[in-house]
Amino acid sequence: MAAPKETVSTSALREIPDLGMFMQRIGPLHPEQLASLAQRTRRSFNLIYVFEPGTAHANINKVLDRVRSRYVVIMDDDLVFLTDGWLQKMLDVMQEHEDIGMLVPFEVKDEKDKDAYLADPSTNPNCAAHLERISMRPWCPGYVMMFDLDRLDDLRADESIPGPSGMSDLDLSLQVRSQGFKCACLHDVLVYHPWKPLDRAWRRRWAIVQEEDLNELHQAQCRYMHKKWGSFFLQNRNLQIMEVRA
């Protein structure tokens, strides 16, 4: 008689963090990102990959619809993890700080900085000698976002934001803040997330689909966010990305 088949309990599944990648460009998942996940995560995780037509806002929600764990990381599909054990480091911070509802790693934008750090991790520009280990932010950019869903109610990307992408991360940050929790950056964990210059040849190289009139799209998004969040939106300006023009 065959032995009974083992099943994984729901409670056990909740202890395995979900990593959700959502489509930001056309083409296969970047192999360097997959390699960095395999080499540097060093912890069990459930991978949810959404590669479907539609907006980034909608695809974030498709990730959230499939989440089974308490902790979920939602990330772009064009970045590379640089820090060994990055996932456990972020989980430890979330579990140590009950007032944090959203956590991101530090972003390295320049390829030279990425290569220097991989050659010698002591070159980390965000080591404790220069910056706090954890810094609070008015909002967190969306390249890698960790959420504690047990702390947050009804977290959803706003699919009414104009355009195929942009400002979902800001809106999610404001949702976290409006529920009384903090947004934070962990400087001990680095990811490489390259700039996307407004250059057609560069965008073709990465197969990025993007409107040409980005200024008008940005203004439409600002007007929408101002209408939705009012003064709360205006009080959280950062990097001049939230300027609202009539």
Provide the pairing of β-strand 134-137 with 80-81: unpaired
pLDDT digits (tens, 9 = 90+) for 159-205: 999 988 889 999 999 999 999 999 999 988 999 887 655 556 656 65
Among the listed residues 236, 134, 93, the one whose alpha carbon sits nearest the alpha carbon of residue 178: 236
What structural domains does the chain harbor?
Answer: 11-210 (3.90.550.10)
According to the model, what pLDDT value does residue 118 have?
78
For residue 142, CA distances in Å to 10, 79, 85, 154 come to 28, 11, 20, 18
Find out whether 37 and 81 touch, Cβ atoms under 8 Å: yes
Between residues 32 and 71, the one the model is more confident about? 71
According to the model, what pLDDT value does residue 29 have?
54
How many CB atoms neighbour CB 171 within 10 A?
23
Predicted structure pTM score: 0.83
According to the model, what pLDDT value does residue 246 have?
42
d(C-alpha 164, C-alpha 210), whole Å = 8
Contacts of 125 (CB under 8 A, 6+ apart): 113
According to the model, what pLDDT value does residue 176 have?
96
Confidence bin at 55 (pLDDT 50/70/90) = confident
pLDDT digits (tens, 9 = 90+) for 64-94: 999 999 999 999 887 889 999 999 999 999 9
Find out whether 188 and 125 touch, Cβ atoms under 8 Å: no
